[in-house]
Amino acid sequence: MAPREARVVDSFEMHIADLNATDLDRLHALSISVGWPHRAEDWQFVREVGEGIVAMDEIGRIQGSAMWFPYDAHFATIGMVITSPRLQSNGAGQWLMGHVLDRVAGRDLGLNATRAARRLYHTLNFSREACVYQCNGEAIAPPELDRPAGGVLRVLELGDLDAIVELDGAAFGADRRILLGRLLTCSKGIGLIRGGKMEAFSLCRPFGRGHVIGPVVATNDEDAIAVVHPHAARHAATFLRLDTREKKGRFSDFLSRCGLPVCDTVTTMSLGRRWLTVREGDARGKPRTYALASQALG
């Protein structure tokens, strides 16, 4: 049964509206109310690459949001799920998610759940897959690195999109061409090339309090460090963030040395086909996602 378009919450009626037609300032105010770092520009970016709904009260105030990012006919991520503090204990999150699930029916789904939202997603039959470590802080310039063995680092251009999409798809498990093309227009990108083939890449863009590095795709820690190093050096003494599932190892140690300790965690969850294509024990040499584009985008 489809969820009702209207719901009485805490003595007033809420109704569903299109997030993409909603005023940016009001979306920004919603994320501020729950302590999220997103700027109005960050909201605009996710609106350009995804779809969403908001919960609006009788006098037009936005009390909640939820978005989905359909990468192909079979898979989408869910993110930007926010309910105002007033509504968090009144079932508004489950009502919003009911509308989202209705709109993405037939797709496998992935999301990254905050501690506050995990219980909600468990009730909707999402399964836990992994932990994401939010690493951020005032960056420290890393020491110089030796040139990657057999490889060359260079700045990425729009003409590199096909190679980026291929490498990202092997790690992520879905085609994110539209998202990656949009990211290339607002990011500084670094690619690692060996024998004429792209073997690792990273993107870094303005976000929140400073900049965020992601996505980062590589086949091993050394290559991942090589493509992240220039961003850490460039943004030394400014706020920098990277979200990763790498708990230990050379890459994790490198982030700590760059002044990016673990400041929070979220939980990767899925509904339908398991999302993550690379897990512990997989063969070496397979591309993996070392840093997420964002918690909402995966």
- Answer yes or no: do 159 and 52 share one domain: no
Give domain status of residue 296, yes or no: no
Nearest-5° angle of CA 177, CA 213, CA 75?
35
| pLDDT confidence band for 255 (50 / 70 / 90) | very high
Residue 122 within a domain: no
pLDDT at 84 (0 to 100) = 77
The tokens for 262 are: 């673990």
Instruction: Tokens for 292, please give them.
Output: 């997420």
Does one domain contain both 281 and 153? yes
The set of residues, in sequence order, having a beta carbon less than 8 Å from that of 282 and lying 6+ positions away, is 288
pLDDT digits (tens, 9 = 90+) for 56-91: 988 888 989 999 999 988 999 999 999 876 666 667
Asked, for residue 239, whether it belongs to a domain, the answer is: yes
- H/E element holding 105? none
What CATH number does the domain containing 176 carry?
3.40.630.90
145 & 287 share domain: yes
* pLDDT above 80 (res 260): yes
Structure tokens at 270: 């899925």
**Residue 65 shares a structural domain with residue 175:** no
Is 114 inside a domain boundary? no
Predicted structure pTM score: 0.92
Query: In sequence order, what are the beta bridge partners of 212?
Result: 205, 241
On whether the CB atoms of residues 290 and 224 are closer than 8 A, the answer is: yes
* Host domain of residue 213: 134-291
Asked if 139 and 259 count as a contact pair (C-beta separation under 8 A), the reply is: yes
Same domain, 240 and 101: no
CATH number assigned to the domain comprising residue 49: 3.40.630.30
pLDDT at site 149: 86
Helix axes 40-49, 24-33, angle to 10 degrees: 110
For residue range 38-47, list pLDDT tens digits in order.
Answer: 999 999 999 9
Asked whether 116 and 276 are in contact (CB, 8 A), the reply is no
Query: So what's the pLDDT on residue 88?
Result: 64
As for how many domains the chain has, the answer is: 2
Question: Is 224 inside any structural domain?
Answer: yes
Q: Residue 126 falls within a domain, yes or no? A: no
Average pLDDT, the chain: 92
One domain for residues 96 and 142: no
Is the per-residue pLDDT at 9 higher than 60?
Answer: no
Is the domain of 140 the same as that of 279?
yes
Angle at 97 between CA 122 and CA 91, to 5 degrees: 80
Let me know whether 140 and 32 are in one domain.
no
> Is the domain of 225 the same as that of 281?
yes
Is residue 259 in some structural domain?
Answer: yes
Same domain, 140 and 271: yes
Give the C-alpha separation, 47 to 24, whole Å. Answer: 10
Structural domain contains residue 115: no
CA–CA distance, 250 with 221 (Å, rounded to integer): 6
Shared-domain flag, residues 259 and 155 = yes
The separation between CA 163 and the C-alpha centre of its own chain, rounded to angstroms, equals: 21
Predicted confidence (pLDDT) per residue in 91-126, tens digit: 778 889 999 999 999 999 999 999 989 999 999 999
Q: Are residues 257 and 192 in the same domain?
A: yes
